[in-house]
């Protein structure tokens, strides 16, 4: 069910922040990099009650008929619920909601309790020309849950009540799970049977199975457990014209894959209610360690070798020089890379060619999950491969340090926004042979765009993760000074430059965030005219009234 205490203007819950105590290097370093003013003034979000909210556009008979479907407690129209469901968690969303700009809140939030209620609500909506926005955790960074502008009333379909593990097949390592289950709900219920799904995106604590599948997401351990589409054996999509069901079998040769119409559908064709997922026994150990590489090229060569010749890692995440330097600046005094410096190792490393700083060495987080003996065997060979490429082993403490903060960084974003810092991420993927080219083109374009958009020198940092035999994903974070009063326009300028650089350098429009509304302008370039036509005819066939999440996927 719903998570109480949500931070409607930012990430997560109101009781948590990213603690900056014990991290004395953070603000001074950031101030220098971004050329921030000496005196930073915090700008708090506009209070909830001061937001100018359009009155709900569903009249009492409409609401009564909805309540007949989902029950009294299944419909909310209160201010808090409407603001919480008015947008996702992109930088662009948070800038607006902090400023009290919520022009298109849903008119009601509906909580179906089962698949039958989902189908009934879609029929209700199609009959009345009411827009339906499916909602999992609302953690989209691409505008995928934001009600579209226009005169049609909008209901948001929050899947929070469909949160159960339906069945576990211990012999076949599969589980049927309802789509509204959040990361912790998935893992807790599978954990009772000794299993894990192994899908841990940064949004893990709030995002849902249905959202992961609808957007083709990837968790931090995707190299070991697979991207969500590789984990998804079967799924059910309730569309306005009926239920589409993919078969629950290991592999099929029955024409074009219907499952792959469901995966990635982003609510444009219907609502995912349930999926059968590949699961694994909970690992005995999760042995995550750190390495330092002299150059990004060395680190990339090690990653490629691990995929080609070594034991496939559960997780691999190689930070470039700037991201490594940022980790050090952000690190807790006595932990991680910071601790290394404190222990006087910096000079020792420097003499061996490892320098720390934005132009310097690159940190690799590498990890193996599994049975103790097997993980030990894999580590022996993995360590050899890392050493072959000049990897300096930093041990398990670096891995533990990363684990501690793995879901915490979005909280830091809220802090930065409060102090006038623009911060967002871009993600893409390409082949090994194109990786450095794409990296350089993208980094250069983003830096130039930040400066051109009055963001100052900016800071751009990247990690390579989600590695494959044929290539890898790039995940880039950029920071700059907010252009006060035109924050959203400024962000669009950078986003546009980044996206165009990605596409022209051979990267994909998205590796795991999806299309939503923000990537839609570029989808035609990616999919081509025939691809767009396919998405359109599917839309017309599955959602003839056009009520399902209009605007996502450009539909």
Shortest separation between residue 437's beta carbon and a copy of itself, angstroms: 12
Q: Which residues of 311-340 are buried (b: 16+ CB within 10 A; e: fewer)?
A: bbbbbbbbbbbbbbbbbbbbbbeebbbbbb
Contact region with a copy of itself (CB under 8 A), list: 178-186, 196-204, 401-409, 509-517: 509-517
Could you say which residues in the range 165-184 bind a copy of itself, by CB under 8 A?
Answer: 169, 171-174
Distance CA 303, CA 472 (A): 9
Beta bridge partners of 155: 108, 132
Q: Tell me whether strands 232-239 and 242-245 are parallel, antiparallel or unpaired.
A: antiparallel
Q: Which two tokens stand for residue 527?
A: 């999919």
For a copy of itself, which residue of 243, 376, 452, 524 counts as binding (CB under 8 A)? 243
Longest dimension (CA), the chain: 76
CB of 317 to a copy of itself, least distance (A): 16
Among 4, 47, 55, 256, binds a copy of itself (CB under 8 A): 256
Residue 424 engages a copy of itself in binding (rule: CB under 8 A): no
Per-residue binding letters, 111-130, with a copy of itself (x by CB under 8 A)? --------------------
Residue 526 engages a copy of itself in binding (rule: CB under 8 A): yes
Would you give the DSSP letter of residue 68? H
Q: To the nearest whole angstrom, how small is the minimum distance from the Cβ of residue 323 to a copy of itself?
A: 21
Measured from the CB atom, the residue of 3 and 123 that comes closer to a copy of itself is: 123
471 binds a copy of itself (CB under 8 A): yes
Q: Write out the two tokens for 389.
A: 């490429």
* 523 conformational bin, left if phi > 0, alpha if psi -120 to 50, beta if neither: alpha
In the complex, what is the shortest distance from the CB of residue 390 to a copy of itself, in angstroms, rounded to a whole number? 19
Residue 263 within binding range of a copy of itself, rule CB under 8 A: yes
Q: Please count the residues of this chain forming the interface with a copy of itself, following the rule CB under 8 A.
A: 84
Scan residues 301-330 and list those touching a copy of itself (CB under 8 A): 304, 308-309
If binding is defined by CB under 8 A, does position 530 make contact with a copy of itself? yes
Report yes or no: 421 and 481 within 8 Å, Cβ to Cβ: yes
Q: Is 426 a residue that touches a copy of itself (CB under 8 A)?
A: no
Does 241 bind a copy of itself (CB under 8 A)? Our answer is yes
Q: What is the DSSP string of 33-46?
A: HHT--SS----PPP
Q: Tell me how far apart the alpha carbons of residues 166 and 164 are, in angstroms, rounded to a whole number.
A: 6
* Residue 534 binding a copy of itself, by CB under 8 A: yes
Q: Could you list the active site residues?
A: 475
CB of 509: closest distance to a copy of itself in angstroms?
Answer: 5
Nearer to a copy of itself, 33 or 269 (CB): 269
Touching a copy of itself, residues 173-232 (CB under 8 A): 173-174, 215-218, 227, 229
The whole-angstrom distance between residue 202's C-alpha and the CA centroid of its chain comes to 6
Residue 152 neighbours by CB under 8 Å, 6+ apart: 129, 130, 131, 547
**Residue 463 near residue 414, CB atoms below 8 Å:** no
Cβ nearer to a copy of itself, comparing 88 with 455: 88
């Amino acid at each position: 069910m719903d998570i109480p205490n949500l931070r409607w203007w930012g990430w997560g819950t109101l009781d948590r922040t990213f603690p900056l105590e014990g991290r004395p290097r953070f603000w001074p370093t950031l101030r220098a990099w971004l050329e921030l003013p000496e005196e930073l003034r915090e700008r708090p979000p506009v209070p909830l009650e001061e937001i100018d909210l359009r009155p709900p556009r569903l009249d009492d008979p409409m609401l009564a008929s909805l309540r007949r479907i989902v029950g009294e407690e299944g419909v909310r129209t209160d201010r808090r619920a409407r603001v919480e469901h008015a947008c996702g968690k992109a930088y662009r969303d948070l800038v607006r909601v902090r400023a009290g700009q919520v022009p298109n809140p849903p008119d009601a939030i509906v909580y179906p309790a089962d698949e039958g209620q989902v189908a009934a609500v879609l029929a209700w909506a199609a009959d009345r020309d009411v827009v339906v926005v499916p909602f999992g955790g609302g953690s989209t960074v691409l505008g995928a849950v934001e009600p579209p502008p226009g005169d049609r009333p909008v209901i948001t379909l929050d899947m929070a009540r469909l949160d159960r593990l339906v069945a576990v097949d211990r012999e076949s390592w599969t589980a049927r799970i309802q789509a509204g289950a959040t990361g912790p709900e998935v893992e807790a219920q599978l954990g009772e049977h000794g299993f894990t799904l192994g899908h841990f995106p940064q949004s893990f604590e709030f995002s849902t199975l249905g959202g992961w599948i609808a957007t083709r997401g990837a968790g931090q351990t995707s190299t070991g457990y697979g991207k969500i589409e590789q984990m998804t054996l079967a799924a059910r999509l309730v569309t306005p014209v009926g239920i589409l069901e993919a078969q629950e079998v290991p592999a099929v040769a029955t024409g074009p894959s219907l499952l792959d119409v469901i995966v990635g559908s982003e609510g444009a064709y219907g609502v995912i209610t349930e999926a059968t997922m590949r699961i694994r026994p909970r690992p005995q150990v999760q042995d995550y360690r750190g390495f330092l590489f002299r150059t990004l090229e060395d680190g990339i060569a090690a990653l490629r070798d691990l995929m080609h010749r070594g034991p496939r890692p559960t997780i691999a995440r190689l930070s470039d020089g700037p991201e490594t330097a940022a980790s050090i600046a952000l690190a807790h005094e006595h932990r991680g890379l910071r601790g290394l410096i404190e222990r006087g190792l910096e000079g020792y490393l420097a003499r061996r060619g490892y320098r720390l700083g934005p132009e310097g060495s690159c940190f690799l987080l590498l990890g193996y999950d599994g049975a103790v003996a097997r993980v030990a065997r894999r580590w022996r060979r993995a360590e050899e491969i890392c050493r072959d490429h000049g990897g300096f082993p930093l041990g398990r403490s670096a891995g533990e340090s990363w684990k501690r903060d793995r879901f915490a960084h979005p909280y830091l974003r809220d802090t930065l926004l409060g102090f006038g810092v623009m911060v967002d991420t871009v993600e893409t993927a390409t082949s090994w042979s194109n990786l450095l080219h794409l990296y350089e083109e993208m980094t250069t374009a983003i830096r130039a765009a930040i400066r051109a958009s009055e963001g100052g020198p900016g800071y751009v940092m990247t990690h390579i993760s989600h590695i494959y035999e044929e290539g890898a994903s790039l995940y880039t974070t950029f920071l700059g000074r907010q252009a006060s009063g035109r924050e959203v326009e400024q962000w669009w300028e950078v986003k546009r430059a980044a996206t165009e650089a990605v596409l022209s350098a051979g990267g994909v429009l998205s590796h795991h965030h999806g299309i939503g509304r923000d990537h839609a302008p570029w989808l035609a370039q990616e999919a081509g005219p025939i691809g767009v036509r396919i998405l359109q005819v599917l839309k017309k066939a599955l959602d003839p009234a056009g009520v399902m999440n209009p605007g996502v996927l450009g539909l």
